[in-house]
Amino acid sequence: MSHRERKHILKGCRASEAGKGPGEGAGLCPNQGRGFWRRYPWLIWVFPIAGLASLIWFLIRVVPKPSRATYPCQRIAAPLASGFIVWAMGLVGSALAYRKARRLMGRSRYVIAGVFAAVAIMAVWWSVSMTQGSGAEAAPFVPTDPPNSPMGVAKGICPGRVMWIRDANATSWNGSTGSWWDDTNTDQAKVDSMISAAIQGLTGESSDADAWDALFRHFNQTHGFGDVGYQGGRRSPLRSMGVSL
């Protein structure tokens, strides 16, 4: 279509709209509504591409290890993949039935042609009804390892022991004045008491001195330094994990 022909059609559409009275509906251009799909033709392929990608991703991840089907990413991909399969089956079935109906119509076998035409329509309806049902319900998560079955090998002076120390009075920050880590918002005596309780509970000793000595001796023994405690000049990193409740 040339540029002049397009201008002629556009003028004809505007003229038909302008010729309507105030009580009459505005005339619609025959080409009105097609501009969106002409501007964004790639939108037609969004669902097929997303469904095919989801199907490939699901097969690559789940076939080698079926337990991965419970992963969140696979729960998202599964409905898209299944919807794509249903849509593709309906599309192929409808196309085959339609082609068969056209051939039979050319041979004047109208009854059988009508049956295949109905099959083509039913195939489209089936694929649409299957994909428009209620949302897929995710299966409940079932962990692969049973409860209370730790993984790995426990380490430390008391293997597997973890100390949890909490004292709400260790900080007095009101949420607006300064920062929670400021010295003015921290009760150092409470913090010292928490550290003391942590190292004594971790080692099973009754004093801080014995607890620190037990920690250093265990570290030196397990790293080939002999049965010795802390020696001047050595440094020992400590890691604390702050948890807000």
d(CA 83, CA 68): 20
Domain boundaries, the chain: 42-133, 168-222
d(CA 232, CA 243): 33
Which has the higher per-residue pLDDT, 225 or 236?
A: 225
pTM of the model: 0.39
Other CB atoms within a 10 A radius of the CB of residue 171 amount to 15
Question: DSSP readout, 41-88?
Answer: GGGGGHHHHHHHHHHHHHHHHHTT-GGGGGSHHHHHHHHHHHHHHHHH
d(CA 206, CA 170): 22
Residues 204-216 pLDDT 10s: 999 999 999 998 8
Q: Amino acid letter at 146? A: P
> What are 186's strand-pairing partners?
171
Please report how the helices 72-106 and 46-62 are oriented relative to each other, as an axis angle in degrees rounded to 10: 120
The DSSP call for residue 211 is: H
Most confident region among 97-111, 166-180, 226-240 by mean pLDDT? 166-180
Residues contacting residue 79 through CB under 8 Å, at least 6 positions apart: 135, 136
Residues 95-108 pLDDT 10s: 777 777 777 777 66
Cα 72 → chain centroid? 6
Residues contacting residue 104 through CB under 8 Å, at least 6 positions apart: 110, 112, 113, 116
* Predicted local distance difference test score (pLDDT) of residue 17: 46
Four-residue CA torsion sign, 205, 208, 213, 214: positive
Tell me the three state secondary structure of residue 128: helix
Q: Whole-number mean pLDDT of the chain?
A: 74
